[in-house]
Amino acid sequence: MQTVYDDFKESLRGIRLLNTKEIYFIRLVLHGYKTYDIVKYLEIEIEQYYKIINSIKLKLNCTSWYKVVIKSFELEIIKLEDFLDNLVKEEALLFEEEIMSKLIKEKVSNKEIRYLVSDFYNSCTSKLENLCTDVFSEEEKFFLRLKFEGNNDESIERKLKLEPEEVNTYQEKLFIKLQVNDWFNALKKAIQFGVLKIKDELHVDFEIHVYEVSVNMISINSFKNYSYKEKKLSIYLQLLRFYSKLELDYLSKASM
């Protein structure tokens, strides 16, 4: 059985494996930088750009860039919270206040905190979905689902009755609509916008996540050496961590 210490050692191993430029490279891609921008920013040639990608894949033992991103988050080479939408952070600030007002009561139940944590998540998902202003056709939604399920280009061509060159055109159009440059951010946005409706089909135990974070919050409130401001900050960070872990759980189910 793998222990917490084993997980920690694996995390350190990942950080040691990747050099600073490689870690920075991953961050730039996730922040939406295009190939040309990354080449210019890192002052490298285009050949070196692809060498860095292959080096990262090799070091993390990943067959695709999507898997590289997932593993980088899982090993905490990069932090989940650094790539959360501002809307989620704003909601966390609002709910942190409400949760703290409950926690300072003498007899607060875990159930009360769980309700607030669930409300926080539901509020985030509802507001993120409302940010979607584009209309996606059923064919586009099916294309996204096929990618999520791990279908290759040939399979997508057959199922959508597309010509080979049309698959890339389709992808480019979807990236423009979703305002992204890679498949990790594309699927993340598609799920957020409700364009890719797969949450109910995936085996992610929402209630366990909610329970764990509520226990952590009640525990934080009991810390005698924490000031009120320190407790508030800790609750805020717990909300961000909770949301980002759930988001990663869903995205890690993709067969990319």
pLDDT tens per residue, range 74-105: 999 999 889 999 999 999 999 999 999 998 87
The answer to whether residue 162 scores a pLDDT higher than 70 is yes
In the prediction, which pLDDT does 2 show? 45
Q: Where are the domains of the chain?
A: 4-78, 80-256
pLDDT tens per residue, range 2-26: 444 455 455 555 556 899 999 999 9
Is the CATH code 1.10.10.10 the one for domain 4-78? yes
Average pLDDT over residues 154-183: 90
pLDDT tens per residue, range 29-75: 999 999 999 999 999 999 999 999 999 999 999 999 999 999 999 99
Let me know if 160 is exposed, middle or buried by CB neighbors in 10 A (0-12, 13-18, 19+): middle
Long-range pairs for 106-115: beta carbons < 8 A, 24 or more residues apart: 108/218, 110/211, 110/214, 110/215, 110/218, 113/214, 113/217, 113/218, 114/210, 114/211, 114/214
SS3 162: coil
Average pLDDT over residues 243-251: 92
Percent of the chain with pLDDT over 90: 66
CA distance 255 to 151: 8
pLDDT interval class at 204 (50, 70, 90): confident
In the prediction, which pLDDT does 205 show? 82
CB 28 within 8 A of CB 41: yes
Q: Can you give the C-alpha Rg of the chain in angstroms?
A: 20
**Residues making up the chain, counted from first to last:** 256
In the prediction, which pLDDT does 30 show? 93
Q: Which residue has the tokens 């992808």?
A: 171
